[in-house]
Amino acid sequence: MSALEENIGKLDGHLKKFREVGILNCIAGVDVTGSQGTFQTTSPVDRSIICNVAHGSKEDIDRAANAAQEAFSVWREMPALERKEVLIRIADGIEARAEEIALCECWDTGQAYKFMSKAALRGAENFRYFADQVVQARDGQHLKSPTLMNVTTRVPIGPVGIITPWNTPFMLSTWKIAPALAAGCTVVHKPAEASPITARLLVEIAHDAGLPAGVLNTVNGFGEVAGKALCQNPKIKAIAFVGESQTGSLIIKQGADTLKRNHLELGGKNPVIVFDDADLDRALDAAIFMIYSINGERCTSSSRLLVQDTIRDNFEAKLIDRVNNIQVGHPLDPKTEIGPLVSEEHYRKVTSYFDIAKADGATIAAGGEVMESEGYFVRPTLFTEANTKMRIAQEEIFGPVLTSISFSSEEEALEIANDTDYGLTGYVWTNDLTRALRFTEKLEAGMIWVNSENVRHLPTPFGGVKASGIGRDGGDWSFEFYMEQKHIGFATGRHKITKLGAL
Ligand code: NAD
């Protein structure tokens, strides 16, 4: 039996229960149907229906918010060490079911097993990392003044809403849910409608690990209804959102009447800038990895290659060879590097850029075509002879599609790199230290790597500038979002209080 057949067999076993009962919502620790009936989730591999999914409405969201409100005092007051133990048990549970999570994620989203098996384990790491922070999360400062002993402390903000997208949905959900729970918040999670399966696995794992009922509630449904209701619910104190920049604007608008605190992780059109003094072999590996892994459906993907004109021909020739060699195939085949795109709508969006590129006058140097198949497969694509004003250089395509633009000087590279509405990541390849210092200082991005691909380190701040987002995740930055700062001043003596009405 091939590895692919073996994985398909295992997946079949894991999906059996979902085929029988569908994916239910989980509110107050109880599995419930959606008040709007069901919708279906399909696989991008062959367009087959996977299972029914509870279709949540405003009513379901409001019930979940009530449950999160009721559970808040229980979870907030639970001794930190006990909360920490629950989070560690969730991490253990994720590890124990990592293969199931990865297989289901691949089938639901089209992502390759090669990457999803690691993403599932990163979900466990997220829980372990934030479990370690639970005890000190509430600690504050002592700021003495002449008459007061001022102390600060942090308290969890309350029930929060977490709205996640369909690209690597499991890992991204844990990235938000783990720090929220570590802070002492309760959660209503609205997963993306295109990829509901692993959110269901997560809530199951959390309850098996002893998370009290109502602390994590999962309501499936569509953004315009369930997502909107979550933003508008007055019991929900903050929304952590990952998704498109346009949806990010809606999140702010929808939450305005209830004065929501928002954390927005949005889109990107990230540059990888390759100077002629760089280690070009490593730069090539990293540039390819950052755009063609995870199907290019990755917010931090290096979707714009800025390559110095002195090395362009050579660099692009090697790039074309490698891109044409990338293995596109069944996502459950461990050898596959690119699987199908997540949905028909997204497939149409990504493939529409093949004609846009031609109309703009760019060259399709690799790919640029769909593949004969029942699923949403596209060949990894490279556009060359592009310039920064073209739509392929400005718009987030969110697929395995790279736009290459050449530059002649450092100044020009910086100008092109910053010539975008977005500002999530930047990747700079040079062996000139002072240039790296100058360049990174002026590059408009929330996260920059020099001579490296994106290597996530959980204590560092993750987030973007410009249209790529507001706020940061990671380390203590996560707690700044999920917690309120509180100041308390204790008089240390009998200082003079200005008297009014006491002549
Ligand atoms: P999307 O904005 O369409 O949807 C994201 C989530 O928002 C889904 O759960 C959806 O149901 C919900 N939603 C949609 N409309 C809503 C509304 N009016 N109110 C409340 N919720 C609503 O994004 P997507 O297509 O699922 O994901 C891809 C996008 O996510 C890309 O732009 C990508 O760059 C971005 N992304 C960003 C990061 C980051 O960290 N910056 C990480 C991953 C993905």
Q: How far is the CA of 351 from the centre of ligand 1 (A)?
A: 20
* Average confidence (pLDDT) over 170-186: 98
Token pair belonging to 3: 């590895």
Quote the pLDDT of residue 495: 97
Our mutation pick for probing the ligand 1 site, out of 175, 299, 344, counting the most ligand atoms within 8 A of Cβ, is 299
Q: Is the pLDDT of residue 411 over 90?
A: yes
The predicted-structure confidence for 321-356, as pLDDT tens digits, reads as follows 999 999 999 999 999 999 999 999 999 999 999 999
Our mutation pick for probing the ligand 1 site, out of 53, 167, 303, counting the most ligand atoms within 8 A of Cβ, is 167
Q: How far is the CA of 266 from the centre of ligand 1 (A)?
A: 7
| Residue 24 banded pLDDT, cuts 50, 70, 90 | very high
- Is 161 close to ligand 1, i.e. is its CB under 6 Å away? no
* Average confidence (pLDDT) over 124-137: 97
Instruction: Tell me the C-alpha distance between 102 and 329, whole Å.
Output: 16
Instruction: Tell me the C-alpha distance between 377 and 339, whole Å.
Output: 7
Domains defined for the chain, CATH in brackets: 3-266+468-487 (3.40.605.10), 271-450 (3.40.309.10)
- Is 190 close to ligand 1, i.e. is its CB under 6 Å away? yes
* Average confidence (pLDDT) over 445-466: 97
- Is 165 close to ligand 1, i.e. is its CB under 6 Å away? yes
Instruction: Tell me the C-alpha distance between 106 and 57, whole Å.
Output: 27
Q: How far is the CA of 297 from the centre of ligand 1 (A)?
A: 12
Our mutation pick for probing the ligand 1 site, out of 163, 197, 343, 395, counting the most ligand atoms within 8 A of Cβ, is 163
- In the block, residue with structure tokens 């500002």: 423
Instruction: Tell me the C-alpha distance between 188 and 399, whole Å.
Output: 29
What Å distances lie between residue 210 and 23, 316, 410, CA to CA? 21, 53, 55
Per the model's pLDDT, the better-predicted residue between 482 and 503 turns out to be: 482
Q: Which amino acid is at 428?
A: V
Quote the pLDDT of residue 121: 96
* Average confidence (pLDDT) over 265-272: 98
Write down the mean pLDDT value for the chain. 98
Nearest CA to ligand 1 atom 11: 223
CA-193 nearest atom, ligand 1: 11
The predicted-structure confidence for 430-441, as pLDDT tens digits, reads as follows 999 999 999 999
Q: Is the pLDDT of residue 178 over 90?
A: yes
Q: How far is the CA of 166 from the centre of ligand 1 (A)?
A: 8
Q: How many other C-beta atoms are found inside a 10 Å radius of the C-beta of residue 147?
A: 15
The DSSP call for residue 216 is: E
Residue 303 exposure: Cα atoms within 13 Å on the Cβ side:
30
| Residue 370 banded pLDDT, cuts 50, 70, 90 | confident
Q: How far is the CA of 212 from the centre of ligand 1 (A)?
A: 28
The predicted-structure confidence for 151-161, as pLDDT tens digits, reads as follows 999 999 999 99
> Edge-to-edge, what's the strand order for the sheet holding 363-366?
363-366, 381-384, 401-407, 304-308, 271-274, 425-429, 447-450
Our mutation pick for probing the ligand 1 site, out of 109, 244, 397, 481, counting the most ligand atoms within 8 A of Cβ, is 244
Give exposure, 388-421, as e/b (b: 16+ Cβ within 10 Å). Answer: bebebbebbbbbbbbbbbbbeebebbbebbbbbe
Instruction: Tell me the C-alpha distance between 156 and 311, whole Å.
Output: 53
Quote the pLDDT of residue 254: 98
- Is 228 close to ligand 1, i.e. is its CB under 6 Å away? yes
Instruction: Tell me the C-alpha distance between 219 and 60, whole Å.
Output: 7
Token pair belonging to 461: 């701040």
- Is 399 close to ligand 1, i.e. is its CB under 6 Å away? no
CA-243 nearest atom, ligand 1: 30
State the catalytic residues.
265, 299
Q: How far is the CA of 223 from the centre of ligand 1 (A)?
A: 9
Cβ atoms 481, 158 nearer than 8 A:
no
The predicted-structure confidence for 392-403, as pLDDT tens digits, reads as follows 999 999 999 999
Token pair belonging to 164: 């996640």
Q: Is the pLDDT of residue 210 over 90?
A: yes
* Average confidence (pLDDT) over 109-126: 96
* Average confidence (pLDDT) over 474-499: 97
- Is 424 close to ligand 1, i.e. is its CB under 6 Å away? yes
Token pair belonging to 448: 């920059």
Nearest CA to ligand 1 atom 12: 223
Strand partners, 383: 364, 403
Cβ atoms 306, 271 nearer than 8 A:
yes
Nearest CA to ligand 1 atom 37: 266
